[in-house]
Chains A and B, each alone.
Chain A
Amino acid sequence: MAWLTGLPLAVDLVLGTTLLWLAWRALSSPDLFQAVALFIAFGVILGLVWARLDTIDIALAEIALGAGVTGALLLAALSQLQPAEVDARAAPSATGANEHQAGQPGQTAETADADEAQHKPAVFRALLAAVMGLLLLAALFGLGLVTWQLWEPSSGLTQQVNTHLPESGVEHPVTAVLLNFRGYDTLLEIAVLLLALIGVWSLATASNLGDTTPEPVLAALSRLLAPLMILVAAYLVWVGAHAPGGAFQAGSVLGAAGVLLRLSGWRLPAGAAGWPLRLVLALGVAVFAFIGIAVIGLGEPLLGYPTAWAKHAILVIELAATLSIGAILASLFIGGRP
């Protein structure tokens, strides 16, 4: 049985080598579609690596968000990029002229400024390249040091988190950190997601992605899968209190359900695409902030839930956050304001 002891090491070696190889191939691939596919595979393998390191929460998040959501977003961007590239090759001068005619007179003057800044002498470009090279070298130097330091394991704040876990209202340390000990960060991270969507919506209206009649297989599959995914999302929120799971993972499953429904031809009713949709998108930040501020009135510090009902507060916040994260991710995939 001596050969079995070497097995974990062999698995780790294979995972590590595959990860590096996928990363290199994704970066070097000239075909964008292939690069995205390799990136998704990279995310899945990275998730397995996290699982091997006994960090199930990060593994779940990496596969759901890193591979799943990011992959879907990249594919959606790619599908919009390719027609644009063909258009640009067909009529390069026409698009350039349109840009200048489309703007207001004042705008044309403002955007023309930036035009001038585009033409820089070669010396400047060389300088730029040198600076960027130096910056990258600095980053690589730091990275090398990180790996070197990681040989000595560091327990970080694990001890402290475990000591205060009973006061947090949940039994899973990751959820306790995300929703209670460092809830302020999480509140603002949900705001970052919403901000990204506001940024995307400020740029364009939604494309007609998936407006063609869906294939019957896809339609049948989505009727089967969508309710199941909603159920899985609900389970993930609930289980987050005592095991790996929580709002971000659940939200990404919910978002995936939204993407699937959209691709199989389902549309939000016209009445729901206005403020009701916006309300769902903003709900996570609003509920989190409201509870966090309301506790000040009870004499607690900002975002300090009284231990007695911390569990309920966290569940309400997680439910609202899951809905918002799901809606935001699906809206990001669709790509523009409705």
Chain B
Amino acid sequence: MLPSGAVWTAALVFTPLLAALACFLAPRAANWIGLLAAGLTTLAAATMVPTLMTDGPLRIAVGGWGAPLGIDLYADGLSAVLLLMTAVVGLGVSAFAPAYFGAHPQQRPWFWPLWLILWAALNGLYLSADLFNLYVMLELLGLSAAALTALSGGGPALNAAMRYLLVSLLGSAAYLLGVALLYHAHATVDIALLGARIEPGMLANAALAVMFAGLMLKTALFPFHFWLPPAHAGAPAPVSALLSALVIKGSFYLLLRLWLDLFGDLSRLLPELIGLLGAVAVLWGALQALQQQRLKLMIAYSTVAQIGYLFLAFPLAGGLNGTTAWRAVVYLALAHGLAKAAMFLSAGALLRFAHHDRIADLDRAVHRLPLTLTAFVLAGVSIMGLPPSGGFVGKWLLLEAAFQQDRWGLAVVVLLGGVLAAAYVFKVVGYAFTPTAIAQEAESVPLSMQWSALLLALGAILLGFAAPLLLPLLDVGAPFEPIVGMPS
């Protein structure tokens, strides 16, 4: 008899990992191997949903040893929704990539192994219950992301990638320091065991400080966002989509897990501080996005703003109906993943079309590239948080939590961020309707590039209708409920 769940958990990590090896060994077949692996990994993620819904959360002891000696994998609703989002975005970007790299054939054989390892690392991250194993996943994630950033070559891209690599290593090192502290004090790196053994004190506070500093740096929360715009804007379009939609969600998920399972009760001040940084990020990122002349930089700054929303739940979580705030930001993370991937892929299609991404020179792109502009606008609807998109559901839940606790300041930030997002999205749409004085040459854009962007954007809209299905899935294993026996 096969151990329950072992097959699809193994498939989620090892399908992309082994496919990456295959792409490395047979670079000429990389497109086909990559697409096949993307399909299989998505299938594995989809298989997981009914199992979790019927059997509840899943814990697997790798090698059969069990924590604290061995490594445990753990999947609950929170892991599941992020694995699903990663699969959907991954499938979309994988469908976009062959046509995109058709024009950059020297980058294609490297894109596939790096991207598939990145996918394996993300899936491994969402499935791991072991702090040191999570560090290894962060290493895989950071290295593959930095190498992908450098893929387009040239001075600025290499500079941005090098800075990204250094930031990523610094963040990982800080995180590891916290792991060492916790292991020394409690003789385990299993999150569940640590949750039971950890007690308030100097050591726990120090671990909290270094781990959160490292992970906030990796998640690019204001003011740690300095590395993000050049890296996300300088990378090839499919890579930008992966970095903005998926990679930062990995470190955010880890922050959330640590907070929920280990550190949530340690500090009253820290959640307020994190919320404040999030609020500044929402406004600052949106204002910066509004000022950009280049489409890809604008989208990158929009990511800085959207990351800010994810941290607004921290000050709300301790109060009345705090779990609503967590559900809200997880929903926002999902919606942002789909919408931002669609936006960067549309930007990639526009770059192929016009050979530039100056917003002011979009020159009637609406008429000439209607599918891509539709994708951009639909993604924009979700980023703004207009109904019926996924972004709307997330912001609605967040506002609900803020109103219940009379946190009017946070509510104003949520609304103002939406207005600013509308301003920068409509700025692009406005220029896309306007003819420029000089007629511009244009190259045809393969349909697979346009449709993958459009389908992802439609996904972001449909996410608004999927709430009755996704919210129960998210609650499997009650990831947001306070652990029994601890003061809440």
Contacts and interface: CB of A to CB of B under 8 A. Distances in A.
Chain A bound to chain B: yes
Interface of A: 96, 99-100, 102-107, 109-118, 124, 127-128, 131, 135, 138-139, 141-143, 145-146, 149-150, 154-157, 160-161, 164, 180-185, 188-189, 191-192, 194-196, 198-199, 201-203, 275, 278-279, 281-282, 285-286, 289, 293, 296, 299-305
- The binding surface of chain A is classed by DSSP as helix
A198 B113 contact: yes
B169 to A, nearest CB: 12
A156 B183 contact: yes
B210 interface: yes
Given A106-B355, A191-B17, A278-B25, A114 B104 contact: no
Given A138-B213, A192-B140, A301-B3, A109 B351 contact: yes
Contacts of B297: 113, 116-117
Interface string B164-194: 0000001001100110110111011000000
A102, A115, A293, A301 interface centre (most CB from chain B within 10 Å) = A301
Contacts of B113: 198
Contact of A302 (B10, B151, B351): B10
B64 A161 contact: no
B211 to A, nearest CB: 9
Contact of A195 (B9, B70, B143): B143
Interface in B1-21: 1-3, 6-7, 9-10, 14, 17-18, 21
Contacts of B6: 296, 301-302
A128 B226 contact: yes
Interface stretch (B83-91, B230-238, B412-420): B230-238
25 contacts: A96-B155, A99-B154, A111-B154, A111-B234, A112-B156, A113-B234, A113-B357, A124-B226, A128-B226, A138-B209, A138-B210, A139-B177, A149-B203, A154-B184, A155-B187, A157-B68, A160-B68, A164-B69, A194-B24, A202-B151, A282-B21, A289-B14, A302-B60, A303-B62, A304-B62
Contacts of B133: 182, 184-185, 188
A158 to B, nearest CB: 9
A285 B21 contact: yes
B220 interface: no
- The binding surface of chain B is classed by DSSP as helix
B136 interface: yes
B319 interface: no
A281 B358 CA distance: 43
A185 B132 contact: yes
A102, A131, A182 interface centre (most CB from chain B within 10 Å) = A182
Interface of B: 1-3, 6-7, 9-10, 14, 17-18, 21, 24-26, 60-65, 68-71, 103-104, 107, 110, 113-114, 117, 120, 124, 132-133, 136-137, 139-140, 143-144, 146-147, 150-160, 170, 173-174, 177-178, 180-181, 183-185, 187-188, 202-203, 206-207, 209-210, 213, 217, 223-224, 226, 229-231, 233-237, 293-294, 296-297, 351-352, 355-358
B185 A139 contact: no
Contacts of B183: 156
A170 to B, nearest CB: 14
Contacts of A189: 136
A199 B114 contact: yes
B262 to A, nearest CB: 15
Given A188-B140, A192-B139, A195-B117, A113 B24 contact: no
A299 B158 CA distance: 47
A245 B365 CA distance: 63
Contacts of A285: 17, 21
Contacts of A299: 1-3
A191 B65 contact: no
Contact of A181 (B14, B69, B170, B296): B69
